[in-house]
Amino acid sequence: MEAKKEIEVATERDAEVVLQVTGEGGNGGKEEERAAMDVSSRSRRVAALDAFRGLTIVMMILVDDAGGAYEQIDHSPWNGCTLADFVMPFFLFIVGVAIALALKRITQVSAAVKKIVIRTLKLLLWGLILQGGYSHAPDDLSYGVDMKKIRWCGILQRIALVYLLVALVEVVTTKIHPTTIGSGPFAMFNAYRWQWIFGCVAFVVYMATTYALYVPDWSFVFHREGDVNDGKRFVVKCGVRGHLDPACNAVGYVDRAVWGINHLYTQPVWIRSKDCSQSSPDMGPLKEDAASWCLAPFEPEGLLSSVSAILSGTVGVHYGHVLIHLKGHSERLKHWLLTGFGLLICGITLHFTNAIPLNKQLYSFSYVCFTAGSAGIVLSAFYVMIDVWGIRTPFLWLEWIGMNAMLVFVMAAQGIFPAFVNGWYYETPDNSLVHWIQRHVFVKVWHSERLGMLLYVLFAEIVFWAVVAGILHKLGLYWKL
């Protein structure tokens, strides 16, 4: 599935940029340490950021591993927004916040650019390894990928692109960053207008391409060994502009033209749509009169939709700037909540007036507004409860996961740890410790496949990794990218 990515933190966690993009260790990351100290008191950092990051990781694990049993929380088949659809924009939002904090003070622009480029390359490499098709974790114990079919895009690749561009804008405009912000409702926006101008450019490019690009007819050959449609060629009739349906949108056309159809995601969620599944919105047998595109590949983290995703990072950068410049709790919350609810209302209005539907696969503008506004409101709620009211204990487990997000993302969300455990089996691969726990501790006890799977994800994955992350935090061990 597509859902997932992380940003992580260690000793200077409020200054992290992505997936743990701080200094390289040792004496590196001095700018990040100073930035973190500026945005919090001497005794503590803004813990809400870690909790928010941890919540996003938890959501990702939940929807990825329990979404198959509970389709209601899995990605929307096309238009709409479910729990799974919040994961990616929440990641990009917190990446933006971290960029603002980490790059608050830059002594050498060239050195900062070098670090940004290196970290971007690391993200791309991890993305190709984990989601390019090389890793078949956790159930399939084989590995390797046919380079003719490698998936070039993915969660980490999208985060890498957004991080690279948004961070570079932050760096190259560092000399005009204000030290103080004037009064007025738009003073913060004006002070960092170049970041918003860049976001607007991304918006214009996305909208112009989406509605002006001509999408011709196209075809594909379906490959799945043992399937009745294996080797069959399907033709999709288009010849249109500005369509936002699954078959003939510009987002899919750009990816087919740039990457090639064999390098796209082969299990798009639209297979659960009313046009395809007999049990929509659940996964079911393909309808006899299913649309010709139902079995086609589609890249949910594609090129054009990633251009739109830059806006999620831009909004996050803005929230980070507010955290830096506004020192009072009430000032921060007022700005955050007004911005958050403004974006939320904009997204809802666009969706329900049918102007621009909420759509994660296309990363539509209404989806950007709705999810970015939601992220701002959730962060504000965490900030009030944890950093203002001091109710920190109930959220410590989220902080621990947030501080070691890279570890939990790779080991749990990408299934590397259960894949390792599954590698030690008795007689048959489905007779391993992980499978035994799923069957005997959860499914058979509750006499329900769905409930058993949900409880397995909650306790054997989320609670387990919260404990592991807590122990590592106590030992001062963090996985940095």
Task: Please state, in angstroms and rounded to a whole number, the distance separating the CA atoms of residues 83 and 95.
Answer: 19
Render pLDDT for 368-392 as a digit per residue (tens, 0 to 9). Answer: 999 999 999 999 999 999 999 999 9
Q: Where are the alpha helices (DSSP H) in 77-154?
A: 87-102, 109-131
Report the candidate in 175, 37, 70 with the shortest Cα–Cα distance to residue 454: 70
Rounded CA separation 264/331 (Å): 45
**Domain presence at residue 164:** yes
Do the domain assignments include residue 453? yes
Residue 457 in tokens: 């994800």
Looking at the chain, the whole-number percentage of residues with pLDDT higher than 90 is 61
- Is residue 479's pLDDT more than 90? no
* Residue 189's pLDDT band (cuts 50, 70, 90): confident
* 438-463 residue pLDDT tens: 888 898 888 888 899 999 999 999 99
Q: Is 221 helix (H, G, I), strand (E, B) or coil?
A: strand
Of 23-32, 158-167, 290-299, least confident by mean pLDDT is: 23-32
Question: What secondary structure does DSSP assign to 166-211, as a single string?
Answer: HHHHHHHTGGG--SS--SSTTHHHHHTHHHHHHHHHHHHHHHHHHH
The pLDDT, as a whole number, for residue 446 is 87
Residue 62 in this model has a pLDDT that exceeds 80: yes
42 lies in which domain range? 13-203+303-475
Asked if residue 359 has pLDDT above 50, the reply is yes
Average pLDDT, stretch 279-295?
86
pLDDT at 72: 84
472 - beta bridge partners? none
Q: How far apart are CA 450 and CA 310, in angstroms?
A: 36
400-430 pLDDT, tens digit each: 999 999 999 999 888 888 888 888 888 888 8
**2 pLDDT higher than 50:** no
Decide which of 18 and 111 is more confident: 111
What is the rounded average pLDDT for all residues in the chain?
87
Q: Which residues of 323-356 are buried (b: 16+ CB within 10 A; e: fewer)?
A: bbbbeeeeebbebbbebbeebbebbbebbeeeeb
- Kindly state whether residue 403 falls inside one of the protein's structural domains: yes
SS3 category, 357: coil
Tell me the per-residue pLDDT of 139-180, one tens digit each, with 9 for 90 and over. Answer: 788 888 889 999 999 999 999 999 999 999 999 988 777 777
Instruction: Quickly state the pLDDT bin for 13 (edges 50, 70, 90).
Output: very low
Q: At residue 17, does pLDDT exceed 60?
A: no
* pLDDT computed for residue 85 by the predictor: 96
Is residue 424 situated within a structural domain?
A: yes
Q: What is the mean pLDDT of the segment spanning 65-77?
A: 87
Please indicate, yes or no, if residue 133 is contained in any of the structural domains. yes
Inside any domain, residue 289: no
Please report whether residue 294 resides in a domain. Answer: no
Helix (H), strand (E) at residue 220: strand 218-221
Residue 44 — pLDDT band, cuts 50, 70, 90? low
Q: How far is CA 279 from the centre of its chain?
A: 28
For residue 18, the model assigns a pLDDT of 44
Per-residue model confidence (pLDDT) at position 23: 33
pTM of the full predicted structure? Answer: 0.89
Of 260, 252, 263, nearest to 293 (Cα)?
Answer: 252
Residue 381's pLDDT is 97
Residues whose CB falls within 8 Å of the CB of residue 125, separated by 6 or more in sequence, listed in order: none
Residue 15 in this model has a pLDDT that exceeds 50: no
Q: What is the mean pLDDT of residues 299-310?
A: 96
Query: Is residue 108 domain-resident?
Result: yes
Provide the number of structural domains found in the chain: 1
Q: Is 393 exposed, middle or buried (0-12, 13-18, 19+ CB in 10 A)?
A: exposed
Residue 206 pLDDT > 80: yes
Those residues whose C-beta lies under 8 Å from the C-beta of residue 33, and which sit 6 or more positions away, are 11, 12, 15
